[in-house]
A and B are shown apart, each in its own frame.
Chain A
Amino acid sequence: MANPFRLPMVPRALRNLVSRPATRLYPTELRPRFAGARGAIVFDVESCNFCMLCARRCPAAAIECSREDRSWAIDQLTCIACGVCVEVCNKKSLSMSAEPGRVHTRAEATPDGRRPGREEWLKPAPPPDLTTAPVSAAATD
């Protein structure tokens, strides 16, 4: 055995003792996220045309989209934030936020079996096109 009294970690330990700790008191003290970090998927229902490309290409099958119902849903706990959906979206309805998504807990699960972290949108059908609709119908509105 080498000299048992030569402990190379001692200087480092003593230096640490008098310098500032490297950790922070998470979660009360947070580090700012870097720009371009992949946090969580943000969806804008207004611009979506329900082409379903995102749902089809999602490797985690986290997105559900229906053209008929004009509905869009994401399971944030299944989402792997790979960014494929953001890339394939033609309407730019999807974007990646640098901030991580909310923390979801099992307590959010509702008795109807909805998973925590599931976010849903429904877009009402557009109003009838006024240029082709009968004038009287528009007037009564």
Chain B
Amino acid sequence: MTPAIYALLFVLLAPVFGGLLAGIDRIVSARMQGRVGPPLLQPFYDVGKLLQKRTRQINPIAEPLLIAHLGYMAATGALLLGGTDLIFTVFVYALAALLLVLAAGSANSPFSFAGAERELVVLLASEPFFILMMVAVCKVTAASTFGGVLASSQLVAVQLPGVLLAFVVVATIKLRKSPFDISISHHPHQELVSGLTSDMSGRLLAYVELAHWYESALLCAFMVLLFNWSVPLGLLAFAVAYALEVLVDNATSRIKWQLVLRSTWAATLLLCGGNLLALFVMGR
């Protein structure tokens, strides 16, 4: 199969993957809390319902921005699997995230605006890591594309255990999990109401949710990069990491943005940077 087909498959299947993941997440979370929980397909029902609901827009610019956010999120995955340069992919990913910030900031509401500001903080917390991670992956595999990394004879995770650990830490931000869910959380019970999405309704919220499903699939693809010998192994690693995220989500409270920044940068610098330094020192 050509990379183009992979890209197309990502665009088509990632929402199914992300939605099912969210469904499993909700059931597992509920069980950890001693609840029965919703049916597996509940996220799909939710998005279907959101699409049917009347949409109220504070600022008409929000909708094109959110469609672009969804589009870029899908494009990030498509570009990754389609064989584009890894570092370029990370920049497209950052752009996708930025569009959500712009959409939230466009609503003239204090909660939404404060959510947008906090999302900028978490972007600041996570983006350096993703760039560093891709640099590291490119360095150890001497390849710069998804296919190239998968074809490499080096098992990335063995070379980059620090990067793997830091990835699990930083992915918490992207998966909107406690303790790092400061700008938006899965349930709207926080000091910023629903943060970023406070002023989004109906299909706008559905776009955000769909984009999040793409994002989950994208993070899974990143994990596959780290376990480049075998795709099933990468999926398994992602499942383990995700289960860990859910457990931590159910065992911590939300922390404040200062600590989010400090802990993710500490993870990036110590784990990721230390790992790279070690490789450098060992002369590879």
Q: Do A's and B's CB atoms come within 8 Å in the complex? A: yes
Using a CB–CB cutoff of 8 Å, the interface residues on chain A facing chain B are 1, 4, 7-10, 13-14, 16-17, 19, 21-25
User: Which residues from chain A contact B37 at a C-beta distance below 8 Å?
Assistant: 21
Q: Which one of A8, A13, A23 contacts B32 once the chains associate, using CB atoms below 8 Å? A: A13
User: Which residues from chain A contact B32 at a C-beta distance below 8 Å?
Assistant: 13-14, 16-17
User: Which residues from chain B contact A23 at a C-beta distance below 8 Å?
Assistant: 34-36
In the complex, the answer to whether A21 meets B247 with C-beta atoms within 8 Å is: no
Bound-state CA distance A128–B119 (Å) is 83
Bound-state CA distance A22–B30 (Å) is 10
Bound-state CA distance A21–B30 (Å) is 9
Whether A13 touches B36, Cβ cut-off 8 Å, given contacts A21-B30, A21-B31, is: no
Bound-state CA distance A7–B248 (Å) is 8
8 contacts between A and B (CB under 8 A): A9-B250, A13-B251, A14-B247, A16-B32, A17-B31, A21-B30, A21-B36, A25-B36
B13-47 contacts to A (CB < 8 Å)? 28, 30-37
In the complex, the answer to whether A16 meets B31 with C-beta atoms within 8 Å is: yes
Tell me whether B57 is interfacial, beta carbon within 8 Å. no
User: Which residues from chain A contact B247 at a C-beta distance below 8 Å?
Assistant: 10, 13-14
Tell me whether B55 is interfacial, beta carbon within 8 Å. no
User: Which residues from chain A contact B250 at a C-beta distance below 8 Å?
Assistant: 9, 13
CB distance from B65 to the nearest CB of A (A): 36
The 10 closest A-B CB pairs, nearest first, are A9-B251, A13-B32, A22-B34, A7-B251, A21-B36, A16-B34, A13-B250, A10-B251, A23-B35, A17-B31
By secondary structure, the A interface counts as loop
User: Which residues from chain B contact A13 at a C-beta distance below 8 Å?
Assistant: 32-33, 247, 250-251
Bound-state CA distance A30–B195 (Å) is 36
Bound-state CA distance A25–B31 (Å) is 13
User: Which residues from chain A contact B34 at a C-beta distance below 8 Å?
Assistant: 16, 19, 21-23
In the complex, the answer to whether B248 meets A24 with C-beta atoms within 8 Å is: no
Bound-state CA distance A25–B36 (Å) is 7
Bound-state CA distance A4–B180 (Å) is 13
User: Which residues from chain A contact B230 at a C-beta distance below 8 Å?
Assistant: none
User: Which residues from chain A contact B252 at a C-beta distance below 8 Å?
Assistant: 7, 9
User: Which residues from chain B contact A1 at a C-beta distance below 8 Å?
Assistant: 259
The residue of chain B having its C-beta at the shortest distance from the C-beta of A8 within the complex is: B251
User: Which residues from chain A contact B251 at a C-beta distance below 8 Å?
Assistant: 7-10, 13
Bound-state CA distance A8–B250 (Å) is 11
User: Which residues from chain B contact A24 at a C-beta distance below 8 Å?
Assistant: 36
In the complex, the answer to whether B28 meets A21 with C-beta atoms within 8 Å is: no
- Of the listed residues B28, B33, B34, the one surrounded by the most CB atoms of chain A closer than 10 A to its CB is B34
Bound-state CA distance A14–B36 (Å) is 15
CB distance from A117 to the nearest CB of B (A): 29
Bound-state CA distance A4–B35 (Å) is 27
- Of the listed residues A9, A17, A23, the one surrounded by the most CB atoms of chain B closer than 10 A to its CB is A17
Bound-state CA distance A79–B54 (Å) is 36
0/1 string, B114-138, CB within 8 A of A gives 1: 0000000000000000000000000
User: Which residues from chain A contact B248 at a C-beta distance below 8 Å?
Assistant: 7
0/1 string, B224-257, CB within 8 A of A gives 1: 0000000000000000000000011011100000
User: Which residues from chain B contact A4 at a C-beta distance below 8 Å?
Assistant: 263
Q: Besides A13-B32, A21-B37, 4 other CB < 8 A contacts?
A: A1-B259, A8-B251, A13-B247, A21-B31
CB distance from B38 to the nearest CB of A (A): 11
